[in-house]
Amino acid sequence: MALCGAALRLNLCVDSRYFYKFSSRVGVRRLSENTSSRPGSGSGAETAGDHVLYTQEHFALRESLRKIIDQEINPHVDQWEAEGKFPAHKIFKILGSAGFLGVNKPVEYGGMGLDFSYSVAVAEELGNIHCGGIPMAIGVQTDMTTPALARFGSAELKKEFLLPSITGDIVACLGVSEVGAGSDVSSIKTNAVRKGDEYVINGGKMWTTNGTQADWMCLLANTSDGPPHKNKSLICLPMNLPGVHIARKIEKLGMWSSDTAEVFFDDVRVPCKNIIGEEGMGFTYQMLQFQEERLWAVANILTMMDNVIQDTIKYTKQRKIFKQPVLHNQVVHFRLAELQTEVELLRSLLHCATALYIKGNDVTKLASMAKLKGGRLARELGDSCLQFWGGMGFTSEVMVSRFYRDSRLMSIGGGADEVMLGIICKYMDTLPRK
């Protein structure tokens, strides 16, 4: 029955798919240009026949999503970037109605019931959105706030929070990081103290993506005084409860169209039944949830990196200096070839980790490696490509500069590079014992 439902939803996607018309564009692609997203032109394997992970269905799903990106999102990105916010409820409803907010979620809660590789395919396609902020906000909804709920939440909780998040009727946010606890998640100070059949929550969360628009938060809070890895719980927290205060919207270097909030909790009372899974298991659930978040983030940035390379090739091909195209300098085309090679290596790692993950393996080490490499490569690639654009690259009129700003977050958010290195070292058994 579940598979049948999934196939039905997928058929809808295939039927409504549109075929990308390639129109060659030469010259500077300004942010205001309303152009179609391109297929991931940097990837060697673009069809199901020769792809290690994706089938015809993955590609059909991506084509269908690309249509929505081109018609409903990209034409408005510049405006939303300037406004510092995008209309999450409107865009999530469009994506949810088409099934894109729950491809790997259970059919009984509105999902497609497919495996995580489909979520990775969606994340890769979302990389064709002309900024980093909107895909990140979508990823928060699909792969950062809902994996633990889908896996460990009660049926009642899933009906109340998961189902409408998948259909796009409500917006979710993730409340893990705090002012004094980002990399060290175990040291969070927000407390949820049980009083009768309610938790009373006090504390605050920092850097909350979707925070000013969200209807509910997947909140990590201390529910006892026990050891830091066993005293935490994940709680579904409606954001309209008395005592939830959106303190401010944070101004940022990049990801402008994504709203980031600081949130305070002042004696917020939430029913104990809103806990996800078992009390005291929140830290473990969150660490598991981080695996999908990190793989999702890598998939998303891969397409952006492909697109920045392609844009740079087009620009440097037509920009003549000393009577020849910039691209004809060996230092330029060799550098772009080297960067594309690195992107392909990262894609292979992502697809390998995803294939192992959907078979039930622990991919913490591979996911951490991919996240680390993704952050470092994005910084390197953004810097190198921007250089080849000269002064144009320094303007805020071209995609390469937006990527340069937005992608800087990859080495910080969802676990900084150094946190990833720590996890990898743990798996290599090279961390000094305390």
Ligand X SMILES: Cc1cc2nc3c(=O)[nH]c(=O)nc-3n(C[C@H](O)[C@H](O)[C@H](O)COP(=O)(O)OP(=O)(O)OC[C@H]3O[C@@H](n4cnc5c(N)ncnc54)[C@H](O)[C@@H]3O)c2cc1C
Q: Which residues are catalytic?
A: 293
Among 88, 372, 409, 420, binds ligand X (CB under 6 A): 409
Which region, judged by CB under 6 A, interacts with ligand X, from 56-64, 163-171, 239-247, 411-419?
Answer: 411-419
Asked whether the beta carbons of 28 and 71 are under 8 A apart, the reply is: no
Among 208, 223, 300, 307, binds ligand X (CB under 6 A): 208
Among 5, 75, 325, 422, binds ligand X (CB under 6 A): 422
Is residue 246 within the footprint of ligand X (CB under 6 A)? no
Is residue 253 within the footprint of ligand X (CB under 6 A)? no
Minimal CA–CA distance to 53: which of 361, 349, 298?
349
Is residue 418 within the footprint of ligand X (CB under 6 A)? yes
325-384 binders of ligand X (CB under 6 A): none
Is residue 45 within the footprint of ligand X (CB under 6 A)? no
Q: To which H or E segment does residue 265 belong? A: strand 260-271
Is residue 419 within the footprint of ligand X (CB under 6 A)? yes
Residue type, 163: L
DSSP 97-109: HTTTT-TTS-GGG
Which region, judged by CB under 6 A, interacts with ligand X, from 18-26, 74-82, 177-185, 390-398?
Answer: 177-185
Among 34, 71, 183, 396, binds ligand X (CB under 6 A): 183
- Which residue lies nearer to ligand X by CB, 96 or 139? 139
Among 252, 314, 317, 376, binds ligand X (CB under 6 A): 252
Q: Which ranges of 270-409 does DSSP label H, i.e. alpha helix?
A: 282-318, 330-358, 364-388, 390-394, 399-406
User: Could you tell me how far CA 106 lies from the centroid of its own chain?
Assistant: 20
Residue type, 306: D
User: Other CB atoms closer than 10 Å to residue 345's CB: what's the count?
Assistant: 12
Among 182, 277, 280, 393, binds ligand X (CB under 6 A): 182
CA dist., res. 148 & res. 151, Å (int): 5
- Which residue lies nearer to ligand X by CB, 50 or 429? 429
Is residue 413 within the footprint of ligand X (CB under 6 A)? yes
Is residue 174 within the footprint of ligand X (CB under 6 A)? yes
- Closest contact distance (angstroms) between CB of 134 and ligand X is 13
255-314 binders of ligand X (CB under 6 A): 255, 260
Is residue 416 within the footprint of ligand X (CB under 6 A)? yes
Which region, judged by CB under 6 A, interacts with ligand X, from 3-11, 60-68, 173-181, 228-236?
Answer: 173-181
Minimal CA–CA distance to 34: which of 61, 62, 69?
69
Asked whether the beta carbons of 429 and 423 are under 8 A apart, the reply is: no
CA dist., res. 401 & res. 29, Å (int): 12
Q: To which H or E segment does residue 156 belong? A: helix 155-157
Q: To which H or E segment does residue 119 belong? A: helix 116-126
Distances in Å between the Cα of 181 and the Cα atoms of 40, 253, 421 are: 37, 21, 18
Residue 135-154 contact track with ligand X, rule CB under 6 A, x = bound: -----x--------------
Burial 300-327 (b: 16+ CB within 10 A, else e): bbbbbbbbbbbbbbbbbbebeeeeeebb
- Count of residues that bind ligand X according to CB under 6 A: 23
- Which residue lies nearer to ligand X by CB, 275 or 420? 420
Asked whether the beta carbons of 250 and 232 are under 8 A apart, the reply is: no
Which region, judged by CB under 6 A, interacts with ligand X, from 298-306, 319-327, 407-415, 426-434?
Answer: 407-415
Closest residue to bound ligand X by CB:
182
- Closest contact distance (angstroms) between CB of 416 and ligand X is 4
- Which residue lies nearer to ligand X by CB, 80 or 207? 207
- Which residue lies nearer to ligand X by CB, 234 or 255? 255
- Which residue lies nearer to ligand X by CB, 58 or 408? 408
User: Other CB atoms closer than 10 Å to residue 8's CB: what's the count?
Assistant: 11
CA dist., res. 73 & res. 68, Å (int): 7
User: Could you tell me how far CA 175 lies from the centroid of its own chain?
Assistant: 15
- Which residue lies nearer to ligand X by CB, 219 or 268? 219
- Closest contact distance (angstroms) between CB of 51 and ligand X is 32
What is the distance in angstroms between the CA of the first residue and the CA of the last residue of the chain? 51
Which region, judged by CB under 6 A, interacts with ligand X, from 88-96, 240-248, 358-366, 418-426?
Answer: 418-426
CA dist., res. 375 & res. 396, Å (int): 22
Among 96, 163, 414, 424, binds ligand X (CB under 6 A): 414
Q: Is 222 helix (H, G, I), strand (E, B) or coil?
A: strand
> What does the binding site for ligand X look like in residue numbers (CB under 6 A)?
140, 173-177, 182-183, 207-209, 252, 255, 260, 409, 412-416, 418-419, 422
